[in-house]
Amino acid sequence: MVKRIYPLLAGGGILFAVVTVVAAQVAGDSSLDPVSMTISQYAARDGGGAIETAMAVLGLASLALLAGMRALDAPVHGWPARLIGLWSVSLVGAAVIPSGTVWQGDVHGALSVAAFVSVPAAAIQLVGRLGQDERWKAVARPLEWLTLASGLGLAAITYVALPGHGVMIGLVERLLLTAEVAVLGVLAVRLAQLVWGPTLRAWIGGRRAARDFLVHR
């Protein structure tokens, strides 16, 4: 029973986080510029707490995803599991620690960097492993493209943050985060298919059998 809960927690948490972050910025203060402000800067200026909540929920949902994959004996052991765990803990930590004082800003920044680096690093290792596992092979190719997008986004934000002097850093960060969340989303969808697929197919088959029985009576 616990194994069946993991896909719901992972998928529901990821969806909640995405909707919450988008809604907070669409309905946020019009004077705040998401193109030039990082998500952390936006959240600190907005002050509503919705983005911090979404970050914490996304971190916990990622832990549920990792637990679900391990429960199905997915090839996530070793560094991929450690890196996904690092992403999760970093997100929760960044949500809890504000970027107010100097030391808080330093810790928050370090946690953000750890989170952004961990998903592409985990995905690089997972692509080959999932491609060799019949249960997960279907997501290997989409994951490969998303891994490439995450890597390019990571390179872009590194350039923008250093020699680029932060030009359009908010836009670049949001594109990188979109690619990384998409990586987790693809894995969560496949986890749900593997866990709930047989039950749904059996239920649909039972409904069809009952319908055919009533039609041919």
Q: Is the pLDDT of residue 102 over 80?
A: no
Q: Which of 94-103, 132-141, 178-187, 206-215 shows the lowest per-residue confidence on average (mean pLDDT)?
A: 206-215
Give residue 35's pLDDT band: very low, low, confident or very high (50, 70, 90). confident
List, in sequence order, the alpha helices (H) in the chain: 2-26, 39-46, 50-71, 79-96, 102-131, 140-161, 169-215
Q: Is the pLDDT of residue 202 over 80?
A: no
How far from 162 is each of 17, 26, 142, 159, CA to CA, in Å? Answer: 29, 28, 30, 5
Residue found by looking up tokens 């911090």 in the block = 52
Q: Is the pLDDT of residue 213 over 80?
A: no
Give residue 208's pLDDT band: very low, low, confident or very high (50, 70, 90). low
Contact 97, 108 (CB under 8 A): yes
Query: pTM to 2 decimals?
Result: 0.89
pLDDT for position 58: 97
Give residue 2's pLDDT band: very low, low, confident or very high (50, 70, 90). low
Q: Which of 46-55, 109-118, 177-186 shows the lowest per-residue confidence on average (mean pLDDT)?
A: 46-55
pLDDT for position 164: 81
